[in-house]
A and B are shown apart, each in its own frame.
Chain A
Amino acid sequence: MFSFIFNEAMRDLRRAGRVGVSAILLIALSLTALGGFWLLSLNLGRAIDQWGDRVRVIVFLKDEPPAAKLDELMQKIEAVGGIQRLHYVSKADALRLLKRSLGSQADVAEQLPRNPLPASVEVTPDAAIATPEGTRALVARLVALPEVEEVQGGSQWVDGLEQFRRLFQGVGLVVGAVLALAAILTVTTATTLVLHLRRDEMEIMRLVGATESVIRWPRLLQGMAQGLVAAIVALATLEIAYALAVPRLEPLLPVTIGLERVLFLSPWQALALIGAGTMLGAVGGLLARGRVHA
């Protein structure tokens, strides 16, 4: 029975002709768009995670604490919570770092009547809170300390990147959904056309006592086959685009978003894309109408 249903589905697919090919192309287009947005979003996510590891918060102090009070201050800062590491930078250390960064121009710093740089504490947040929300909360707690003049750094840049990723995912989902809808409608049209062509067969099938499932399964399989072929086309398109784009993009990535490599979809993600294509086709096939009453 399965071979009958499968053969009928393949026969129907051939009968669908150009409409069937259009349906495959539309599903492939929607899956390529979805897969492309997914790929970029995944790599942006990796960049965000890496930048999250590098988040530093600089706590500028109102006054340089006397050496005897330094430990007490450091404990007070640590007590706000969510801190992995603290590093105190005295006014003298800050000036030394400034001179080092000025290099041959270090003389300029010598001309200063007094050291204008504040003492500070470099705070490395815990990995668990190195998110835009977590870092914002930490900054708020640090600013509230009376010894603190100002808090700088944090995750504004990462925050921006995260927002960009969310926007990107949103656009990807909307574009993918619109294309997926168009694909479903095309599969439905293709399947309805085939049902119209095979109405005589369906009439005979019903007259001789075929069950509705035997009559409907070829329709479902036809849609699934279209979706499967389309998903493979979409994956191949993404793979080719990846192979062409990556050698050109990779040299730029370390100096822009900090990634060494761009990764392709994992085998499981590729399988999910194939599953999505098959589902799209199946939905289109199931929505087709073409009932013949006998």
Chain B
Amino acid sequence: MQQIVNFIIKYKYFLFFLLLELIAVSFTFQNHSFHKSKFVNSANYITGGIYKRINSFKEYTNLKVYNQQLLDENTRLKNILSQQLKDSFVHAIQVLDTTKYFQKYSYISGKVYKNEYHKKYNFLLINKGLSQGITADQGVVNSKGIIGITNTISKNYATVLSILNENSKINVKLLNSLYFGTLQWDGKDYNVLQIIDLPIRANIKVGDTITTGGKSTIFPEGIPVGTILNFNKENNVYQIINVKLFNDMSAIGPINVITNFDKEEIMDLEETISNE
């Protein structure tokens, strides 16, 4: 007994160091694996508040760019609207009904407070949280494409798992065909991502447009992602397909968070299948 006490006293700093180091390393691995609730994240009152102040300064320097983005988006949406009016003028009443009762998605606007793109596991911080109706696993997009998926949520802030994160896997497809694959990031260039699992029968060309596939409950189908930059084929399998994003991931301002109203129903259904 005496020896144990002596040992502890002699090595007390080392033991203390070991204990704290173990805590730190366990936080690290928790952070590297995706579907776990995390204790260390920037969606809290203090860090969120400080990032809010920083952002209120930084915003001014980018106002011109954001205004142009919003203008472009407005033009695009107005064009879509005017097309629809022409197509469905006769069924106008029905169209109104469907938008009212069969709405599938809704969008909540927000701002990015913290943006990262130089690490291997990047997270963003946005200014919307529980009080604004944000939950985990919702899609985040802006006018030029997808940005990420909400991760940890606090009362007024949420962290977003950026598409520039090794754990991010997003279902994407080619614009003009039904073949789909998975979008990942290899951690190198922050504007170039990779597609895996695309079947060889999908005849791709450099410059083809990639959009979201709509096979998950997170992103609706058809949100633009980017264009194919280059690819190589080996043994009749696509080895690497690089995709250049429409977005500049180093400069993201206003964003939209997508709520899917069918999500619970789909999740319930999938659960009953997996239980059987």
A in complex with B: no
Q: Which residues of B contact A (CB under 8 A)?
A: none
Q: Which residues of A contact B (CB under 8 A)?
A: none
